[in-house]
Structure 1
Amino acid sequence: MRLSFRALITGLTIAATGCAVGPDYHKPTPWTPPAWQPSTRADQAPGHSVPVAVAADVAWWDQFHDPELSALERRVATDNLDVRVATARLAESRAQLRMAGAERFPGLSASGSYSRSQYSTKELQRAISRVGGELGGENGQFIRDSSGSAKIPQLDMWADSIDASWEVDLWGRVRRQYEVARADMAASEEEQRAVLIGRMAELARDYMTLRGAQQQLRITHDDITVAGQLLTLAQSRYRSGLVSDLDVESARSQLAADQAQVAPLEQSIAEQINALSLLMGAPPHALDAELATPSAIPPVPPRVPVGIPSELARRRPDIREAEDKLHAATADVGEAVAEFYPKITIDASFGFQSLSFRDLGFWNAKAWNVGPSITLPIFQGGRLRGQLELKKSAQKEAAISYQQTVLGAWRDVDNALTAYREEQLRLDGLKREADADAHSLELARSQYRSGLVTYISVLDAQRHALSSHLSVTQSTANVSGNLVALYNALGGGWEIAMPDLEAMQVAKATH
């Protein structure tokens, strides 16, 4: 065992002083636009929600001050099926990392065996006869004559041993392999984070659309009430002989047109509730009791913290995932380079062997061996060189993908900021239009009662008022939805610390 111990110490020393061949990974410098700044209060209209360059809020959904939205967002982490799939993939990556890490240490195994053997007696007799022939004389003749009675008995072999094997990582192949697995696991973590953030943003957008549709349905019902009142007024004036039946039929037509808009809006509401149910991993209509009651569109906060430009690469999970993939691709190149170098393995075993079971535990039945082996690739038909070129090309692809991801992230942020600002300006114009249309409708109704205008004027005013009110509601939902898109583009939500999704999902499953 002294020799085995010395060989192990020698191998450890060699590995400790060895180097890892191939390129080392260097973290890329985060790129930011040279003159990018979020919109300031100076270029916003009074009363607008303004993005400010301060630390972004992790729980951005709480900025809307809607308890129902916040409750749904907290449930996404445990209920959404896509998030659960991403969590399972992360567990797979962790298992692969553990397997790759095991290669850095010696492998130990214990074995025991028993065999009963019968060797060829004929071969033994032939060998004895040949020996006698070579000796000659009387002794040789005696040996040849007695060879026919030679017989090999059946043999029992008992053995047990502890075996060890360890690759001396002289060129860093095992270390590069572990580095790849660690980078892949980090990429899986960022993928899980991206899925969670994306599903939370999708839920918030669907929630804004649902509340907007519910408000549009309320406005339509209010307009139906107004249309009913106008129909009653037209019928009264017709009975008094002040107008023709054309006014009555026009009023009845407008009432029917308003009533026809109810069904599409109710369909949209049902579809949005089903979409939210799917995000919760629940069947259709599972959230009807929770969401069917109409509620206002969650308002946007007056100030929107968007962080500073240099922090975007730290917040966006897709950027960090692309960076981890570049790291893995770089380490892959080092592993491919190490394949060109000799592979040194130290094998050792210690145990007992005996032809009798009762002698197996005696010290003089011990058997051991220890020694290194070396494997040197001489001719592989170009396989190793082709593998190296493949890994180098994959590294270049990963570097380009990283650059593309960073540029795409800044495009998303800039587009989201623009959409958020411009939709608020559009909403200002729609509100002014809606106020004017509402005033026009009141004037038209008053003048119609006085007989100053025909019903066509009232009908046009009512149509414009309904259309502008619906547009205001839709734009209000769009503003809130665009803010959600902005938070999503900024990588908002769990960008610094992730909840323990596996523990949360297990805890939910056990209740």
Structure 2
Amino acid sequence: MKSARLKKYIIIASMPVLLVSCFSAKDYVQSDQVQIEEGTFRTDQLSQDSLSVAEVSWRALFTDPVLTQYIEQGLANNIDIRVALQQIVAAEAYLKQGKAGYLPTLSANATYTHQELSKNSSLGALSNSQDLYGLSGNLAWEIDIWGKIRSNKRAFQASYLQTVAAHHAVKTRLIANIASVYYQLLTVDEQIEVTKETIVTRKQSLETTKALKEAGNVTQVGVKQTEAQLYTAEAILVDLNNQAYLLENTLSVLLGEAPTAKERTLLEDQNISTELVIGVPAQLLHNRPDVMVAELELRKAFELSNVARSSFYPSLTLSATGGFQSLDLDQLFNANSLFANLVGGLAQPVLNGRKIRTQYEVSKAQQEMASLNFKQSILIASREVSDAMYSFGTATEKIAIKQKEYDAYALATEYSQELLNNGLANYLEVLRAQENTLNSSLDLVNTRNRQLQSVVDLYEALGGGWK
């Protein structure tokens, strides 16, 4: 009899060993299809090095003391940053749950049962009622034959790392947004000063035009057109002041505070001395937080597909129940009240309404979607790096051209005004020259801003700022 039982247990125990050859959880390996190739960024005009500008601290890249103060404040108080930190806390709780998957579950129960028995029953003939007291514990453990628990644990790990990478992405985006808004604010300040100087000049021109009319050199039409030019500049100043006010409010929200006026320096004081090097293409995977998030999503989907596949195979569980049970409360902890059960089970799903097959097919589809999203994130990252690098080069080139344009218009304005004062020029030439000078000056300031914005865009595109 003992020999037969032993033989039965050997057969049951050997089944998982035989079946494990049919399936075991695979290890995640990054696909070659999502690797970044050389030349992806279309930045042949700029050198690539093993060190990327993304490795540079934002404190070293942005040297304006007011801007660095704002970035520090934003990192400490911004609402999105604080939400991301709480998401990490929640993901860490799930990670701990995943690590505990290998451990058995233990539960304790205390019961009291009162029964009123039928007098016509076999037990009722002996007693009309019966009380039963119980105190027990249950221990259950699933043996990880197919790697299902391990894959679940790895999925939780990937999910946790996703939230960490998402927090890094929020930091990178926040730093870039603060710097971008700050530079826009400096740009508007510069344009306001240019417009104010223009208004002063045009008021003087209006007085000169009125004097020339009195002398008979220009008509009332010339006076009114000069006056209209003054109003145009004043209207531009109103729009610029409104834009500065809105930018201050935007910056306040980024810093996690109510809208207030913001201290700042001058646009001409901004100096980016860090060499703009993008690094080798493969570094983008290690620096771009959003690319990390996409890859970790792929890893999680891969592990969950392992879990879904393991559901096709039998699960081996061990459970034990033991405790005290007695009809009399005062005899509950007596040795005669002890009981114990030990059960080993091997459950193989057969028919369950196609739920396991559906779960597996959905997990494979989700894994493929995650893979495609990962590839898409790399393509987008590559485009953003290429855009930022090229924009920086064109903005730098355009600054030199716009400076020459402004100098030419400024001289044209000066010469035409002198000729008009001497009765040798048409007042329309003076008006056109003044208008072109103002527009050129505003464009020059905008071009300087675009150069700074391209630096910020490149820093964000390469995943800088979170380290």
TM-score (norm 2): 0.88
Q: Does 1:171 align with 2:146?
A: yes
Which residue is equivalent to 1:421?
393
Match of 1:54 among 43, 51, 54: 51
Classify the secondary structure of the residue corresponding to 1:348. Answer: strand
Secondary structure of the equivalent of 1:378?
coil
Q: What is the 5 A alignment of 1:73-472?
A: 73-124=71-122, 150-283=125-258, 286-288=259-261, 290-291=262-263, 295-296=266-267, 298-301=270-273, 303-472=275-444
Could you tell me which of 21, 45, 66 is aligned with 2:24? 21
User: 2:24, 2:147 within 8 Å by CA — same for their partners in 1?
Assistant: yes
Q: Secondary structure of 1:123's match?
A: coil
Counterparts in 2 of 1:486-505, with a 5 A limit? 486-494=458-466, 497=467
Once superposed, what is the RMSD of the aligned Cα atoms?
A: 2.8
Do the aligned partners of residues 53 and 106 (structure 1) sit closer, same or farther apart at CA in structure 2, a change above 3 Å counting? closer
Structure 2, unpaired ranges of 5+: 1-8
Deviation at 1:18, TM superposition (A): 6.9
> Shift of the alpha carbon at 1:125?
7.8
**Cα distance in 2 between the residues matched to 1:274 and 1:404:** 34
For residues 96 and 27 of structure 1, the distance between their equivalents in structure 2, rounded to whole angstroms, comes to: 24
Aligned to 1:31: 35
Give, as a single letter, the amino acid of the residue that structure 2 aligns with 1:82: D
Contact between 1:62 and 1:70, CA under 8 Å: does it hold in 2?
Answer: no
Q: How far does the alpha carbon of each residue in 1:415-473 deviate from its partner, in whole angstroms, 9 at most, with x for none?
A: 21111111111121111101111122222223333333232222121111111100000
Report the Cα offset of residue 26 of structure 1: 1.0
Distance 1:155 1:102 in 2: 41
Return the alpha-carbon distance in structure 2 between the equivalents of residues 451 and 359 of structure 1: 125
Structure 1: where are the runs of 5+ without partners?
1-6, 45-49, 127-149, 498-511
Structure 2 CA distance for partners of 1:51 and 1:467, relative to 1, 3 Å: farther
2: CA distance, partners of 1:463 / 1:185: 58
* Alpha-carbon distance between aligned partners in 2 of 1:264 and 1:81, rounded to the nearest angstrom: 30
On the 8 A contact 1:116/1:155 being kept in 2, the answer is yes
Q: Any conservation in 2 of the 1:159–1:351 contact (CA below 8 Å)?
A: yes
Residue 153 of structure 1 and its aligned partner are, at CA, apart by 4.5
- Paired position in structure 2 for 1:502: none
Question: Whose Rg is larger?
Answer: 1
Structure 1 residues 239 and 300: alpha-carbon distance in aligned structure 2, compared to 1, 3 A threshold = same
Cα distance in structure 1, aligned partners of 2:166 and 2:354: 36
67-76 or 151-160: which moved more? 151-160
> Paired residue for 1:504?
none
Q: Which amino acid aligns with 2:202?
A: A
Superposition deviation, residue 250 in structure 1: 2.7
Decide which moves more: 68-77 or 421-430: 68-77
Match of 1:67 among 60, 65, 68: 65
Cα drift, residue 39 of structure 1: 5.6
Letter in 1 for 2:303: A
Q: Report the Cα distance in structure 2 between the residues aligned to 1:247 and 1:168, rounded to whole angstroms.
A: 95
Q: Distance in 1 between matches of 2:345 and 2:49?
A: 64
- Greater Cα offset, 81-90 or 328-337: 81-90
Q: Deviations over 1:104-147 (max 9, x none)?
A: 21111222222333322211289xxxxxxxxxxxxxxxxxxxxx
CA distance in 1: counterparts of 2:192 and 2:58, whole angstroms? 28
Find the residue that maps to 2:342 and give its secondary structure: strand
Distance in 2 (alpha carbons) for counterparts of 1:282 and 1:35: 43
- How far residue 324 of structure 1 moved from its aligned partner, in angstroms, is 0.9
**TM-score, length basis structure 1:** 0.81
Q: CA deviation at 1:25?
A: 1.0
Kept after mapping to 1: 8 A contact 2:41/2:383? no
Identity %: 26
How far does residue 340 in structure 1 lie from its aligned partner after superposition?
Answer: 0.9
TM-fit CA distance, 1:62:
4.2
Q: Distance in 2 between matches of 1:406 and 1:39?
A: 16
Q: Distance in 1 between matches of 2:49 and 2:201?
A: 43
Secondary structure (helix, strand or coil) at the match of 1:371 reads strand
